[in-house]
A and B are shown apart, each in its own frame.
Chain A
Amino acid sequence: NAGVTQTPKFRVLKTGQSMTLLCAQDMNHEYMYWYRQDPGMGLRLIHYSVGEGTTAKGEVPDGYNVSRLKKQNFLLGLESAAPSQTSVYFCASSYPRTSGRARETQYFGPGTRLLVL
């Protein structure tokens, strides 16, 4: 049981390049989230998903797109990277519906450190 995993761990991009961050979870969670963490800012929600094929915007969605084609995967895309997107990105998941556990408790992946030059 790997929990929540993220790929890649670290990436350097040039301004204007694109990339996709992959999040995978093996806990059969319904909900998945993408956050970014900047110094002194806590974690801010970018996008989230309440199920396969559904996504919604969080508080800082501009410049990002997401997709959830499979329940266990949640992808975060940057179409044209900007230096302001330099950050650490965390994926999280929650709500194992069939286990009866609470939906509020989120489990985080190890993070992806992104540097945009």
Chain B
Amino acid sequence: GENVEQHPSTLSVQEGDSAVIKCTYSDSASNYFPWYKQELGKRPQLIIDIRSNVGEKKDQRIAVTLNKTAKHFSLHITETQPEDSAVYFCAPYRAGRGSTLGRLYFGRGTQLTVWP
């Protein structure tokens, strides 16, 4: 199956600084790359995603960049705010093969703490 690694596992930044989380994957068949945010005690929620035919996507303060050749994609958060504090998961999607359903493979998460 897909081997997914996320770095760093924890990240502390000062309010207003930028944060970058990197996700590497192993399967070249992966073709959809989302990032989920999970606040303490809450459900994971999709915050941004990118498809394999696009290199970068932005949505206000967050962006995702993809390097398919190197098999990694990154989450960028600018002008961080205390409410950005959460666990962030990457979850590359590997397309189905034959009778196998396509599915997400979750990284272990990055705990981001933004200090005021």
Q: Are B45 and A40 in contact (CB under 8 A)?
A: no
Total interface residues in chain A, CB < 8 Å: 25
Q: A1 to nearest B CB, angstroms?
A: 16
Across-interface contacts of B97 in A (CB, < 8 A): none
Chain B, Cβ-Cβ closest to A103 = B102
Which of A62-70, A75-83, A105-113 lies at the binding interface? A105-113
The answer, yes or no, to whether B76 is at the interface (CB within 8 Å) is no
Q: Are B108 and A42 in contact (CB under 8 A)?
A: yes
Q: A103 to nearest B CB, angstroms?
A: 7
Q: Are B102 and A42 in contact (CB under 8 A)?
A: no
Q: Which of B4, B45, B49, B102 contacts A108 (CB 8 A)?
A: B45
Known A40-B108, A42-B106: A90·B43 in contact at CB below 8 Å: yes
Against A, the Cβ 8 Å flags (1 = close, 0 = not) of B34-45 are 100000001111
The answer, yes or no, to whether A34 is at the interface (CB within 8 Å) is no
Residues of chain A whose beta carbon lies under 8 Å from any beta carbon of chain B: 31, 33, 35, 40-45, 48, 50, 56, 58-59, 90, 102-111
Distance of A59 Cα from B2 Cα, bound (Å): 11
The answer, yes or no, to whether B115 is at the interface (CB within 8 Å) is no
Total interface residues in chain B, CB < 8 Å: 21
Residues of chain B whose beta carbon lies under 8 Å from any beta carbon of chain A: 1, 4, 32, 34, 42-46, 49, 89, 91, 93, 101-104, 106-109
Q: B67 to nearest A CB, angstroms?
A: 19
Nearest 8 interchain pairs by C-beta? A42-B106, A108-B43, A43-B106, A104-B32, A42-B108, A104-B93, A108-B44, A110-B43
Q: Are B43 and A111 in contact (CB under 8 A)?
A: yes
Q: Are A50 and B109 in contact (CB under 8 A)?
A: no
Distance of A42 Cα from B25 Cα, bound (Å): 15
Across-interface contacts of A107 in B (CB, < 8 A): 46
